[in-house]
Chains A and B, each alone.
Chain A
């Protein structure tokens, strides 16, 4: 072995392969740069902002929303149906006809439900109702509706109001959550009564 070249291996076949170093060609850097630039353009155009609700062929969330049926009450009604069937239908029945034998007034065709604006009916759901009330010319006395202000949010109560105003032949428009929020702000400590409700403005 030559002492001047201590690392030289005599038999090349047994040599451990050694990786050398060389500079990256400039054209490769430019090519990758261009590829990266193009991929970013492609993503900006086609990725839909990486939103989980945007699928091909829609390019953005706005386009998806535009492609959906435009009905302002639809979402509220869908949510309202769920709440009504679990909570309200026990007394007011799925048919909305109520249970007059047990002093539960009907919702179908009720002038309280269909009143423009929903100011009064929102309070009924929020604070409950007790005492005599006249619905569709019929007197109901002795029943008590429970308050739901602690159970459901403004949006949920607006949803259920929108739902009952759109079912069983009712044709009232949607009730928006701000109406319920305004009624909730009063923070009434006790049940509503029909007499006090009638003193309130309809809207």
Chain B
């Protein structure tokens, strides 16, 4: 080991280069990001973006983190030229640095064993989330997601049914007189998943252009009449 200082300098330079590229330069460029306004589309008003996580959503992000959801689910939509995410309806535009401004911590994930969740709040509802957590195969046939039944409790039905008791098919239904209700963790997680939406069009990712046409509209008068071709054949 007669060239220790040289070896050290080489290692140091290598680490310094990657630290500069991956940490320092992005921090200098994007470290000062603030909330911004969405691009005005048509007559719609511009809105603040991104919005703060509503209600229990932040508590839900801790549940998401604790159960390692990010081990199988990503939260990033790839651009049109680098994947089929947008064609799969996982988002209306690519993800930007701005989207993660108020998400602490950011849970990008790295593997897509399950679908991308960057816009999950756009395509589901609370009940759908509960059923997926209780038994993913109720919704998706052949899903490899583990059921998270410990996020639910079986209660004896009191005077009234719980408003958010799960509606399950017969083979999963609880015994008569009992109902399955989400725990506070499941409610928070559902609030977090519903808050996931990256659908504000920004300057960096503007809305797709409207199709251009020079054709004169042929159906100038709006009508509810059924076109002849769509009518069922008379017998």
Contact = CB atoms under 8 A, between A and B. Distances in A.
B172 interface: no
Contact of B94 (A54, A55, A69, A71): A55
Interface string A63-79: 01001110100100111
B165 interface: no
A16 interface: yes
A19 interface: yes
A52 B41 contact: no
Nearest to A20: B2
A69 B207 contact: yes
B107 interface: no
Do most interface residues of chain B lie in helix, strand or loop, or is the interface mixed? loop
Contacts, number: 53
B29 interface: yes
Contacts of A78: 37, 40, 45-46
A26 B47 CA distance: 59
A55 B96 contact: yes
A64 B94 contact: no
Q: Indicate the size class of the contact surface on chain A.
A: 20 to 34
Interface stretch (B62-70, B77-85, B110-118): B77-85
Nearest to A53: B204
A35 to B, nearest CB: 16
Interface residues of B, number: 24
A74 B42 CA distance: 10
B79 A68 contact: no
A150 B81 CA distance: 48
Contacts of B39: 68-69, 74
Nearest to B81: A57
A7 to B, nearest CB: 12
A179 to B, nearest CB: 22
Interface of A: 16-19, 50, 52-57, 64, 67-69, 71, 74, 77-79, 81-82
Top 8 closest pairs, chain A to chain B, by CB: A78-B46, A74-B40, A68-B206, A57-B81, A52-B29, A56-B79, A78-B37, A67-B206
